[in-house]
Copies of this chain bind each other. A is one copy, B any other.
Amino acid sequence: MYQIIDGKKISAEIKIEIAKQVEEIILKGEKRPHLAAILVGGDGASETYVAHKVKACEQVGFKSTMVRFAEDISELELLSKIDDLNNDSDIDGFIVQLPLPKHFSEEKIIRAINPKKDVDGFHPENIGRMTLGLPAFVSATPFGIVELLKRYKIETSGKHCVVLGRSNIVGKPISILMSQKAEFANATVTVCHSRTQNIKEITKQADILIVALGQQGFVTADMVKNGATVIDVGIHRVKSDKTKSGWKLLGDVKFDEVAEKCSYITPVPGGVGPMTIVSLLKNTLLAAQNKIEF
């Protein structure tokens, strides 16, 4: 019988832990952790994401600042604001909500953020530090996956971890993290992607299968070894006549048929998703406590 990896429950627990640490910080007379978010333009989804982040800050007792710009702001204005936040000692960390309007080079904008305040973990220096095994801000999804494996005490050392997908925000960083010489890592890691031949032969070897391909229902039961742990990073909105809203959320894994073969599996929704916001809170707390030494 498989066990559900309950990201919603774990993320709620972590929020409580963070809130307690904030209380202790305040009791010691120290400054309240402070996250700022820059939102450019009025993209609906981005607006919702930033609102969720601000709300999560409130829940754990962080101070938060939202900086809004019109869509037609110049690169110079945005860079100037980033410079302000880099130099504002009250701000522990900040994020620039992506995607940016098309006239921006996201790469240039991200590179302007001081890596010490880059709590999204997107700056090349943080990616490089993570790769080298140095203390670093790790981006939300890989951070969340590692945390779920930790909390469910899933053995990773010497296990074969197969990662489907090589994106910069999920596949690459999680494959690097899983093979590091570290606790809750030390796995033998294989990265598969669109060019991989005989993908099923490889996924069937996986003790831990992390799926971040962005293809709904890609992983079927015949691709999974008995007793595997399956982590589903995909999230797809699919029409449904069985829900009031008229749609439902599905992952990259065919949950109904795959779950029975697993020892552990994340559901969609309620698996990896809820972990991403707490990852941002954790990074902000680490920044406030200067726990990442640069």
Chain A residues with CB under 8 Å of chain B are 107, 111, 123-129, 131-134, 157-160, 166, 168, 172-173, 175-176, 179-181, 186-193, 195-197, 202, 294
A111: chain B residues within 8 A (beta carbon): 294
A193: chain B residues within 8 A (beta carbon): 179, 181, 186, 188
CB-based closest 4 A-B pairs: A128-B128, A124-B128, A127-B128, A190-B190
> In the bound complex, what is the Cα–Cα distance between A127 and B132 (angstroms)?
8
Contact A123 B128 (CB under 8 A): yes
Grouping DSSP codes into helix (H, G, I), strand (E, B) and loop, the A interface class, with mixed when no group exceeds half, is mixed
Shortest CB-to-CB span from A193 to chain B, Å, is 7
Shortest CB-to-CB span from A27 to chain B, Å, is 34
The 8 listed contacts between A and B (C-beta, < 8 Å) are A123-B128, A124-B129, A127-B128, A128-B131, A158-B195, A166-B180, A188-B197, A190-B190
A176: chain B residues within 8 A (beta carbon): 131, 172, 176
Contact B131 A172 (CB under 8 A): yes
Contact A189 B188 (CB under 8 A): no
Of the candidates B124, B133, B168, B190, the one whose C-beta lies within 8 Å of that of A189 is B190
Contact B125 A168 (CB under 8 A): no
> In the bound complex, what is the Cα–Cα distance between A180 and B172 (angstroms)?
9
Contact A195 B188 (CB under 8 A): yes
A158: chain B residues within 8 A (beta carbon): 195-197
Contact B196 A192 (CB under 8 A): no
Contact A166 B179 (CB under 8 A): yes
> In the bound complex, what is the Cα–Cα distance between A126 and B131 (angstroms)?
11
